[in-house]
Amino acid sequence: MPAVDTGLSAVRDAATSALITLDMPNRRGVGFVATPGGQLVTNLHMVAGYEEISALLADGRLLQVEQVIAFDEKHDLAVLQLPVSNLPALRLESGGMLPVEGDPVFILHPAPGTPPFLLETRVRSEQVLDESFTFLELEAILPEDVSGSPVLDGTGAWIGVATCAFADGRPVTIVIPSRYVLPLLERTDVLPLSTLGLARPAASRQRQIPTHSLSMLEGCAPDVLEEVAYTLLRAIQLGAPLYNRGDAAACYRLYAHTAERLIRERPDCPGIQDALRHGLERCARSQGADACAWALRDTLDGLLGVIGRWLQAQSALAYRAAPKAYLQ
């Protein structure tokens, strides 16, 4: 058996090649290639109800997803079929053993316009809902758009699917173990994408994330958009744990400070300024710190969504324009 490189760079590189960005009308999501035949795994709640899904591969190809292999409402899982094969796929942890409390795990975090980065966190606890559903709760609280990312062990093997959910009114990040995915990968029937319209994933918090047109980014240079996206992601990474510890006031103050700073520093991006002002106004109209925190979180997620779509579109254009030297 060949030796496995346990360095974090090897873990990141192996996962990045299999990471997929999903684009639906008014929404972006994440998935990953689980088999060389192009079977794509993600969370059901990310794709349920959509009849138009495109997939951006790590090599820059933008593909239309038209087929569903299977979905599992209880475990919030969906397996889609990409229209290509011979793809780099993640290596499955063959022993079937889940990490235990305190063990490190790794999640590949997509960031608009920049290479994904590997987030290290630890298992907080194992949760047993009933005899047919056990999952892991993680210490880190991740942005909602990370749902569907692969969760890896220290060797780069995938052990489950990252899922952002709510428990007792607080956001949590959980791992749905790979053992619930495997039966779906074994299905042989192929269904039309419209089948997702029949899916009924578990209910979650009602969000009011604004949908912006790409034109609102006019005037912003690409490097500025990447910097803004990083600032927004960093605010969420710092604010979500505060909220999770019960300090909604500190969370919303951090989000508000980030919004005010970007309004002050980015006169070259009037559309982003207007969106942030609207979020602050919605916060001011909200009742209580909890509602204000979510009003501003919706604002940040809405901006991340439109920046991500813009950067994805530029990536797709660059790929189409690339010279096909390998055909010569």
Average pLDDT of the residues in 295-322: 75
Ranges of beta strands (E only) in the chain are 19-24, 27-33, 39-43, 53-56, 62-65, 67-72, 77-81, 104-111, 114-130, 133-138, 150-152, 158-167, 170-177, 191-192
Task: Flag the least confident range among 6-15, 204-213, 246-255, 314-323.
Answer: 314-323
**Which pLDDT score is estimated for 141?**
80
| pLDDT at residue 323 is higher than 50 | no
What's the pLDDT tens digit per position in 66-96?
899 999 988 999 999 999 999 999 988 766 6
| pLDDT at residue 261 is higher than 90 | yes
| pLDDT at residue 2 is higher than 60 | no
Containing H/E element for 270? helix 270-285
Interhelix angle 222-244/248-265, nearest 10 degrees: 170
What's the pLDDT tens digit per position in 218-238?
889 989 998 998 899 888 878
Taking all residues of the chain, what is their mean pLDDT, rounded to a whole number? 83
What's the pLDDT tens digit per position in 113-138?
677 778 889 998 888 776 678 889 99
As a whole number of angstroms, the distance between CA 263 and CA 277 comes to 8
pLDDT interval class at 112 (50, 70, 90):
low
**Which pLDDT score is estimated for 315?**
61
Half-sphere exposure of 279 (CA within 13 A, CB side): 31
3-state SS assignment for residue 92: strand
Task: Flag the least confident range among 39-53, 119-133, 175-189.
Answer: 119-133
State in words which class domain 1-205 has.
mainly beta
**Which pLDDT score is estimated for 320?**
43
For residue 278 the two structure tokens come to 């609207």
**Which pLDDT score is estimated for 204?**
47
**Which pLDDT score is estimated for 1?**
30
**Which pLDDT score is estimated for 168?**
53
pTM recorded for the entire structure? 0.61
**Which pLDDT score is estimated for 181?**
94
In whole angstroms, how large is the CA radius of gyration of the chain? 20
Vertex 148, ends 142 and 150: CA angle to 5°? 85
According to CATH, the topology of domain 214-320 is Four Helix Bundle (Hemerythrin (Met), subunit A) (1.20.120)
> What strands, in cross-sheet order, belong to the sheet with 53-56?
62-65, 53-56, 19-24, 27-33, 39-43, 77-81, 67-72, 191-192
pLDDT interval class at 324 (50, 70, 90):
very low
Cβ contacts of residue 234 below 8 Å, gap of 6+?
none
As a whole number of angstroms, the distance between CA 280 and CA 255 comes to 9
Q: Which residue has the tokens 């609102």?
A: 216
As a whole number of angstroms, the distance between CA 205 and CA 109 comes to 22
Cβ contacts of residue 7 below 8 Å, gap of 6+?
none
Q: Where in the chain is the domain with CATH 2.40.10.120?
A: 1-205
**Which pLDDT score is estimated for 3?**
36
| pLDDT at residue 322 is higher than 50 | no
Q: Where in the chain is the domain with CATH 1.20.120?
A: 214-320
